Amino acid sequence: MNEKTWKEIPIGGLILDAGNAAEYHTGDWRTERPVHILDKCKHCMFCWICCPDSAVIVKDKKMVGIDYDYCKGCGICKDVCPFDAIEMTIEGTED
Amino acid sequence: MKLVLSGNEAAAYGAMLARAEVISAYPITPQTKIVEKIADLIADGRFKTEFIKVESEHSAMAACISASLVGARTFTATSSQGLLLMHEMLHWASGSRTPVVMVNINRAVAPPWSVWADQTDSIAQRDTGWIQYYCESCQEVVDTIMQAYRVCEDPRVLLPAMLSEDAFFLSHTSEIVDLPPQEELDAFLGTYEPDVRLDIDNPRSFGSLSMPHQWYPEFRYKIQEGMEHAVEAIERVDREYGSLFGRSYGGLLDLYRCEDADTVIVAAGSMCSTIRAAIEELRSEGVKVGMARIRVFRPFPTEAFRALAKDVRSLVVLDRSFSMGSEGAFFSEVKAALYPLSDRPDVRGFAVGIGGRDITIETIRSIITDSLRPDTGITAQKWVGLRRCEE
């Protein structure tokens, strides 16, 4: 557990380490979850280009899934997909 | 070295003597001469500083905050509408803990348009987390700029400060000003060396986000802690300046002839010189009156007022501003400071000199006469000298 008090924190809203945004999982904000349907996917990379959070995971030139730590569920990937290979489901329900 | 300087020119010389490294300011009447004088000093090769021209006061303050985060000593100046436009960035300066020093020329707020003396502009910045000084003379402007940098750059304080001068009554009045030797001021001030600064080789996160469950109240509490340290720092630095250069100003609350006073006038700014003259007259007539000049409004001189209140029968508070729907801020805050005392002096409030209306010795005498009448049970603040039909 974090046992810091106001006395130990720096002043001025300062964070002493750089590059800490990665530690903040903005995927927590998501209300809708994109689900990748591999059978329909042609790996055209439209979703990868358009994702504003760089949350489309690509390996060996193949779209292999979505990084739910950072996907905010905006649905752009679903909108741009020409092959209906991404479906949105309400977060908290079964796929 | 002694020079004849106006309050505006004194501000420019103060910035130069403090060796402000970055200045960003936007001209506005009656502050314009500060910017012009700084430009003259730079053009003459006497003042080595980076002057950043900007399109607004909002940008001027943004530039000062950024330069301060890099570790530069920064200065700016504004007035009235310009200060109001800066309001958002004033919170950023204190929240970022940047020791920016600014001169504000107290000018009335429109509408109706007015360029004359009124303290509404700076009083409206009360809650921005800035230290607030109110100056009475051109000499005090130079001396207070030096003191303010020392206080603001104290690692236990690290807050910005604004020094206010009443429009025209101080900004455009010329007086003999004694400028201490540069080497002695350099030794007094040192250089600004923040522990953490904007540095591309050592990146940090500035201006970050805090969720309610994270550190927001703690960061804000640390600003208040800085203000509490500022009380001691302002007193200490004023004393030290006095021992080095022969001039000090009573720290937060400048007391004048209060030793045996029954009645003490509370005020700030240029009217205090008129009040001193009125006190001399009243004293010669046997009226035991003194003055407590609010030299620093933030942090508020709570303890100094409580100490003063032990020995006086009544306080007469003069506000050159008014909080619509309530009363003048000085009146409210003096009463609030005294509330915990079991034996409190009578406190009366007067709104006076609004929009630059002249405050004469006669104005002060009539206020004192009014407040010496037996308590009528009416404690509301009176507006002095309103033009109206006699009832």
Q: Where in chain B is the domain with CATH 3.40.50.920?
A: 253-383
Band (B342; pLDDT cuts 50, 70, 90): very high
Say which DSSP state B76 is in: E
CB contact, 8 Å: A22 with chain B? no
Q: Please identify among residues 68-127 of chain B the ones whose CB lies closer than 8 Å to any CB of chain A.
A: 95-98
CATH architecture of B253-383: 3-Layer(aba) Sandwich (3.40)
On the question of pLDDT at B66 being above 60, the answer is: yes
> Residue A14: which of B205, B217, B221 has the nearest Cβ?
B205
Q: What is the mean pLDDT of chain B?
A: 96
Question: A14 to chain B: nearest residue by CA?
Answer: B206
Question: A2 to chain B: nearest residue by CA?
Answer: B214
Query: For residue A94, what pLDDT is reported?
Result: 64
Query: For residue B377, what pLDDT is reported?
Result: 61
CATH architecture of A26-90: 2-Layer Sandwich (3.30)
On the question of pLDDT at A69 being above 60, the answer is: yes
* Whether the predicted interface score ipTM is above 0.85: no
Q: What is the DSSP string of A22-66?
A: GGS-GGGG-SEEEEE-TTT-----HHHHH-TT--EEEETTEEEEE
Q: How far apart are CA A65 and CA B122, in angstroms?
A: 56
- The burial of A95, by beta-carbon neighbours within 10 Å (0-12 exposed, 13-18 middle, 19 or more buried), is given as exposed
Q: Could you tell me the CA-to-CA distances from B242 to B168, B236, B377, B389 in Å, in that order?
A: 27, 10, 43, 50
Query: For residue B390, what pLDDT is reported?
Result: 57
CB-based contacts of B155, cutoff 8 Å, min separation 6: B195
On the question of pLDDT at B247 being above 80, the answer is: yes
On the question of pLDDT at B277 being above 60, the answer is: yes
Distance from CA of B142 to the nearest CA of A (A): 29
Domain extent listing, chain A:
26-90
pLDDT tens column, B205-239: 888 889 899 899 999 999 999 999 999 999 999 99
Query: For residue B347, what pLDDT is reported?
Result: 94
Q: What percent of chain B has pLDDT over 70?
A: 98
Would you call A12 and B210 a contact, using CB atoms and an 8 Å cutoff? no
Distance from CA of A69 to the nearest CA of B (A): 18
φ/ψ of B329, rounded to 5, equals -65, -40
CATH number of B2-245: 3.40.50.970
On the question of pLDDT at B306 being above 60, the answer is: yes
Would you call A13 and B95 a contact, using CB atoms and an 8 Å cutoff? yes
CB-based contacts of A2, cutoff 8 Å, min separation 6: none
